[in-house]
Amino acid sequence: MATAAIPQAVPAVLPRHVAIIMDGNGRWAAARRLPRAMGHRAGVEAVRTVTRAARAMGIEALTLYAFSSENWRRPAEEIGGLMKLLKLFIRNDLAELVREDVRLRVLGDYRRFPEDVVALIDDALTRTAGNRGPILAIALNYGAQAELVAAAQSLAARAADGSLDPTTIDAEAIEAQLETHDLPPLDLLIRTSGEQRLSNFLLWQAAYAELLFVDTLWPDFGAEALASAVDAFGRRQRRYGGL
């Protein structure tokens, strides 16, 4: 379980926006001959550790891929357990987020979740809406392809009713329709557990992000692992197509 101390040193080059595909809860549990639910519970502890570490480092925005639109294919019992953990996290950690001036954001159509979960999320969003500190964005029932389809449909509808000249549609116009439109540009995308794919996560936003795939399973990814990832980011040269 991620219990490493929060690093005190701030890296010289700090990404403004870090996103993490939190992968490996099931394998972490299997390696210990524990139920998958215990892996997800350990994963929540890692969320708590990493979000605190990110705040301590001064990262402006942290986006966590918690539940994809494809995760509905999992067994109903596992989905129910994940909903319970989400409720537990909100109930236990909301006061801290409010106190630390964190603004909570949700990416994705979370209104498909059970009514009691939706109510808790709505309350958390309302209570942190006025905060001006770091942003914690949680992707819930999120899929990047669906996000891009929705952006295209919105622009197409405006073009059809004459309120938008289709020849003026550019990258900025599309970005303005995305759920991340008010977040800093994505600098660093991390995936844990050794898998090397984006799994329908922030596909547009990752166009020029630095990608880092680490073997560490998510429950073991703590403050030191985040600091190491940020340090690796600082050593890379970002050319954006130039020399």
- What does the pLDDT profile of the chain (243 residues) look like in tens digits? 444 444 445 556 899 999 999 999 999 999 999 999 999 999 999 999 999 999 999 999 999 999 999 999 999 999 999 999 999 999 999 999 999 999 999 999 999 999 999 999 999 999 999 999 999 999 999 999 999 999 999 999 999 999 999 999 999 999 999 999 999 999 999 999 999 999 999 999 999 999 999 999 999 999 999 999 999 999 988 777 776
| CATH class of the structural domain 17-234 | alpha beta
Q: What is the pLDDT of residue 71?
A: 96
Q: What is the pLDDT of residue 134?
A: 98
Q: What is the pLDDT of residue 238?
A: 75
Extents of the domains making up the chain: 17-234
Q: What is the pLDDT of residue 117?
A: 97
**Which residues are catalytically annotated?**
23, 71
Distance CA 58, CA 123 (A): 26
Closest CA to 178 of 153, 195, 157, 196: 153
Tokens of 53: 């570490």
Report the DSSP pairing between strands 103-107 and 135-142.
Answer: parallel
Residue 233 CB partners (closer than 8 Å, separation 6+): 11, 13, 15, 187, 188, 210, 212
- Residue 138 is inside which H or E element, if any? strand 135-142
